[in-house]
Structure 1
Amino acid sequence: MRRSWKLSCATVASCLIWVAPASKAETVQHESEMSLLGVYMVPDDSRTDEYGMGVRATYGARLDESWWLEPTLFTGVIETGKAGVTDYYQQGLGADIAYRLFGNAPFTPFALAGLGVSRNDVANNSASEFGGYGNVGFGFLSSPLSDSGLRLRAEARYVYDSFDGGQSDLHFAAGITVPIGATRRQIVEKVKYIEKPVVVEKERVQELADSDNDGVVDGVDQCPNTLEGLEVDAVGCVKTDKAQSVVLQGVTFEFNSDRLTANARDILVRASEALKGQQDLKVELAGHTDSVGGADYNQKLSQKRAEAVRNYLIDLGVAPSRLIARGYGETKPIRSNDTEDGRERNRRVEFNVISEGGDQS
């Protein structure tokens, strides 16, 4: 028995040395598992000098990170070594409490202890004796061998059986453990797969942002805050090789006056930022009215309003040399003055780009 016990311990130790390097920096977590193991049995000397073979099935249920409850069932045959004599048969049903030293680590040693009911069917004895048993043991679970979480399990147990005044047996077992449900290792892989495109998408959104809506992304745009509606070049600056015009929508005045409204001042702040963003840009601020009232009066009113816009932009920090104020009165309508909507459209201030060839005419 001692020779067999030493041989079996050496086998278990060599398995531990072989499996340990396979450990990876991952975690393995599931709520339950099934283990099926082949068992080599070293019986008590008072039972026989031979050996036994058996099978053990264990169901594991997680209690917390390290503790497991393991109901177990085993059955085996113990050789008698005597010709013509029936072998011994042994079964056991019980439950163990197991503690895994490294918790959810892929490779983890464990220790266990438990109690159960045993049955011994002995040669030359027609009666089957039921009793109890207790066992303690140690073993290890290997790192996952496949994506499904399949692992190798090996263990050694000291089993005390109450049969026939008490028997001390050794069980050495090895087999496979299969997780029931998804492992944390699988979930981590899925989370990485989901999160990676989200990060890339955020980076792409930042790269493709176009704050001033001029068609040139911010990373390339050399003239920020361009007024929407003006044609720009490849680097986002307003083209100055040709005349362009955009209506300053919302730039309005108090009734029959050149005094800017509060809303108009807010809009002109944005216009000043556009001018500051492109220092070579010169513009004509063109004032227009509808046809209500006398032509001379409308001409003077449009000039005053254009100058009011110019003066406010100068107050905001735009160089006076870049701004020309010109009133056109009712001479350049863009809609019919026969309707209220048309007249409202004609009462406007335009932001006209002065081309490199000269003043806007």
Structure 2
Amino acid sequence: MNSTRQLSALLAAGCLMAPGAHAESIQHEHEISLLGSYIVPDEDRTDDYGAAVRATYGARLDKYWWLEPTFFAGVIETGQDGLTDHYQQGLGVDLAYRIFGNASFSPFALAGVGLSRNDVASNSADELGGYGNVGLGLLSSPLTDSGLKFRAEVRYLYDSFDGGQSDVHLSAGITVPIGATRRQIVEKIQYVEKPVVIEKERVVELPDSDQDGVVDGVDQCPNTLQGLDVDAVGCVRTDQAQSVVLQGVSFEFGSDRLTANARDILQQAARALRGQPDLTVELAGHTDNRGSAEFNRRLSQQRAESVRSYLIELGIAPKRLIARGYGESMPIQDNSTEEGRERNRRVGFNVINE
């Protein structure tokens, strides 16, 4: 490695040192958006136009959903000399759904409610009221190393003021991420003695508790069972067929009663399912070929149901668990040996494809 070269000799010769660092992957959980808006007001307000500014704070709820408290303040032109313009403010909260999830570029839809205040000198109606809005928009990919993005949106806003007003807000601005979880940091130090450049890399390893290749600070689905492929944020991929054998899940001889050791192992499976609440799995029971095929099919079904019942006792929703018995029909080893028969007596944890 370059770091093992003669660094001390170069320093002694009067070299220049330039330290730096960069992040390999960053996942943001919070952000602030600042937007300018063009308002197309309700005809009952005016035939003219309006303008507003909007500030939104975004907090990630999961891969797709964001909670967005928002505030806006605007002026709606009357278009008539001598009349005071309409002043409007709103404070509310939206629930936004980002269609592409964690992708850097994503369209989104939102809906929300809030309080409104209208200040119209020529109208005696109550100033305070409520509003509801729905909207569509998009977020660009990051434009800078700091993660700054372009945001544009269109909202239909119904304001209860003066019997009900329907406005349209066309907005554009910037979104700035705040707070980041770093996946891995690579620090680089360059030692320069013209014309020689020596680069040293020091990798700071971060913890990965479930050993799925995604460090804890980024992992959104903790306690993943080993042997399953995951995506960039540590959640089991459901776009491909995959399964693991629940090693050590055994039963009392000739029955569907779980052993104490099997219950301990299934507690780890339950933690994995709690770590990814949208995951649905098939619990597949298998046997060796001793006994009739029908007996083995019934026994494997009963054992799969026993595993399902215990996971439900541990708090997993029944609709996420499908129990199926395959009997002796799908061996993975030769049934002519004791070792092979033992391997064939198993329970599989099969991911259901989306």
TM-score bracket, shorter-length normalisation: 0.3 to 0.5
Question: Which structure: greater strand fraction?
Answer: 2
Bigger RCO (CA 8 Å, 6+ sep): 2
TM-score (norm 2): 0.45
TM-score (norm 1): 0.44
Structure (1 or 2) with the larger CA radius of gyration: 1
